Every structure is written in C-alpha cells, then in structure tokens.
C-alpha cells in the first residue's frame, strides 16, 4: 500500500475514533466532597454539607456554561437573585417530614447529614452512592436515604441520573402534603422566565411557563440564556418512580422541582391529601434524569430522550 495512502487511512481512523469515543469520568475525593471530572474538565461537585443538606454544585453543561445558580454558595453574580437561600443548585429534601421542614433553613429546620460513601466508580460513566440521615433539630433520626448519582455525557449533552430510596427509621414517618419539595434545582441567572431574556418552561403535556406549575408531567424542560448562549435543563421522571408522573413545583423565577406529595397545593382542593405515611423499615423510591443540553431542543427530541430513559433499570 502507498505510504501516503496508509497514513491518510490511519488519520481518518483516528479522527473517527475520537468522534465516536465515550467520555471518561474521574472522581477526586477530599474531606468535603467529591469532584466529578468529564474528560479532565469539571462537570460537578458533590458537596457533603451545604446549609442543611448535601448538594451538587457547580453543574457545568456540555458547552462549558454553569447551569445552576451559584448563590448562596458564593456571592451572587448578576443577574442572579439573592433570594431563597435554601435553593442550593441541585438537592433533594422535603418541606414536611413529621412536621419538620427539611426544605427551609429557618429556625426549627431539619438537617440531612451525609453519613458515608457506598460507591465511588469512574470510567465511561461515574457513580457516587451515599447514605444520608434525616434528623430533627434535637437529633432524632426520622429516616435515612440512599442516593445514587450517575454521571454521563455524549457529544451534545451531559446528564445526571438521580435515584433515591428513603427508609423510615421511626414507627411512623409522614412525608406531608406541601408544595415545598422535593427533588429541586435552581436554574442559573437569566434562564428564569421572569428575567424576560428568553427563558422558557415547557412540559411533556405542552404546558408552558406558569401553566406548567403544579401539573403532572413525565418531563419538564427549562431553557434560557447563560452568558449569551441558549442552554437548557430537562428533568425526566422515570416511570418506576413513586407516583409517576410527578407534579412539578416549577416557577418562572427559577425554581425547578419535582414533587409527588403536594397535591393539596397543586390541585387547590381541600379534600385531597398527597401525604405518604411509612412504618418503620418501609421505603419509597424516586428516580430522575437531569439532562443538560446546549442549543434549544424540540419537545419531540425530549420525548425521545424520555423514552430511552424509561428503559433504564433501577440500581439495586
């Protein structure tokens, strides 16, 4: 074979290999958490304790933009708002567990404490699995959760698969009916619809902006500008999740939360009760995929992404 032709074939093969190659994830653990790197670049960081709970922050999307609000973990940067200090990037908690709020950080709030790592895995995907304790202000353990966070990426998107199993540690543990919950994000800066810079909310039922609040949906997408570039965060609710499809506490000012418990508020009816009572040792499971995308995507593409996610099995 001609040497020049052979070199050309080799070059093309290497280029094709790079285009189709999977991302590689590495984890860097320290005393305060774990940093997740995608091909050597920051994707996110698991912070063991921020305010009253573990969180993920910052969260960097596929185009290199910071996708969630940085306040109050750092000083607010315009156009970020200095409100709702308990909205810490990405989190899981609830506003009424046996009458104690784990959502707020006001006096009398509960605390979710990181207990231990159960798994730290690197490779084409990364996994952080933890055990956490939900405690009242006097230290009473109400429940524990095991949360599994899996991180993946391709050429166009990054994603976080979040699975959490909550187990009651008292004879009776009630997740109360309140809109203040449960799997939450606070979108970054000008993405908020209220900033009137191009932000938009749309769900799987075609409802948009304020009409998506309090509605059940398989997925919700929050799209808007960050540093002059349109990016988006879609949250997909897995069909195996408790009370699928979830209701959504998604606000035009930037709060973005899935909440299967807040029926009284969402439906505006006094004769409904979305609370969930657990006996000691009983559990429930919630599953979500946070899909971080760059350029604006169409609802049909999100429907396809949901269909693919719906086929993924739960972690043991």
* Contacts of residue 71, Cβ cutoff 8 Å, sequence gap at least 6: 77, 80, 81, 82, 85
Does 315 reside within a domain?
Answer: no
pLDDT at 22: 81
Residue-number span of the structural domain to which 213 is assigned: 3-310
Which tokens is 69 given?
Answer: 């609000």
**Residue 68, in any domain of the structure:** yes
3-state secondary structure the chain: CCHHHHHHHHHHHHHHHHHHCCCCEEEEEECCEEEEEECCEEEEEEEEEECCEEEEEEEECCCCCECECCCCCCCCCCCCCCCCCCCCCEEEEECCECCECCCCCCCCCCEEEEEEEEEEECECCEEEEEEEEEECCCCCEEEEEEEEEEEEECCCEEEEEEEEEEEECCCEEEECCCCCEEEEEEECHHHCHHHCCCCEEEECCCCEHHHHCCCECCEEEEEEEECCEEEEEEEEECCCCCCCCCEEEECCCCEEEEECCCHHHHHCCCCCCCCEEEECCCEEEEEEEEEEECCCCCHHHHHHHHHHHHCCCCCC
Q: Is the residue at 316 inside a domain?
A: no
Residue 206, domain member (yes or no): yes
Report the alpha-carbon distance of residue 143 to residue 278 in Å, rounded: 10
CATH number for 97: 2.70.98
Domain assignment present for residue 90? The answer is yes
Cβ proximity of 89 and 183 under 8 Å? no
Q: pLDDT per position in the chain (316 positions), as tens?
A: 443 333 333 333 333 333 345 899 999 999 999 999 999 999 999 999 999 999 999 999 999 999 999 999 999 998 999 999 999 999 999 999 999 999 999 999 999 999 999 999 999 999 999 999 999 999 999 999 999 999 999 989 999 999 999 999 999 999 999 999 999 999 988 999 999 999 999 999 999 999 999 999 999 999 999 999 999 999 999 999 999 999 999 999 999 999 999 999 999 999 999 999 999 999 999 999 999 998 779 999 999 999 999 999 999 8
List the end-to-end C-alpha distance of the chain, in Å, as a whole number. 53
In a domain, residue 28? The reply is yes
Structural domain count, the chain:
1
Dmax (CA) of the chain: 81
Neighbours of 229 (CB within 10 A): 12
- State the pTM of this model: 0.93
pLDDT at 1: 41
Q: Evaluate whether 55 touches 85 at the Cβ level (below 8 Å).
A: no
Residue 233's nearest CA partner among 198, 196, 186 is 186
């Amino acid at each position: 074979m001609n040497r020049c032709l052979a070199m050309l074939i080799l070059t093309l093969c290497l280029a094709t290999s790079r285009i189709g190659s999977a991302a590689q994830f590495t984890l860097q653990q320290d005393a305060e958490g774990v940093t997740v790197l995608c091909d050597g670049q920051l994707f996110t960081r698991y912070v063991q304790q921020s305010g009253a709970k573990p969180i993920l922050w910052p969260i960097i999307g596929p185009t290199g933009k910071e996708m969630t609000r940085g306040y109050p973990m750092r000083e607010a940067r315009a156009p970020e708002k200095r409100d709702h200090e308990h909205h810490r990037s990405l989190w899981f908690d609830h506003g009424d567990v046996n009458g104690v709020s784990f959502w707020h950080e006001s006096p009398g709030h509960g605390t979710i404490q990181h207990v231990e790592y159960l798994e730290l895995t690197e490779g084409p995907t990364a996994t952080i699995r933890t055990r956490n304790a939900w405690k009242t202000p006097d230290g009473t353990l109400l429940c524990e959760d095991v949360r599994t966070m899996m991180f993946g990426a391709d050429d166009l998107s990054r994603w976080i698969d979040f699975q959490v199993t909550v187990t009651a540690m008292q004879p009776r543990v009630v997740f109360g009916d309140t809109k203040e919950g449960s799997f939450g994000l606070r979108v970054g800066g000008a993405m908020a619809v209220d900033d009137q810079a191009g932000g938009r909310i749309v769900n799987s039922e075609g409802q948009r902006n304020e009409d998506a609040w309090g509605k059940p949906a398989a997925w919700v997408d929050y799209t808007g500008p960050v540093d002059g570039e349109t990016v988006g965060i879609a949250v997909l609710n897995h069909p195996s999740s408790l009370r699928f499809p979830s209701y959504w506490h998604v606000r035009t000012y930037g709060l973005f939360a899935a909440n299967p418990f807040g029926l009284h508020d969402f439906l505006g009816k006094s004769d409904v009760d979305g609370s969930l009572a657990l006996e000691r040792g009983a559990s429930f499971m919630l599953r979500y995929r946070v899909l971080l995308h760059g350029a604006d995507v169409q609802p049909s593409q999100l429907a396809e992404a949901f269909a693919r996610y719906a086929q993924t099995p739960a972690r043991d």
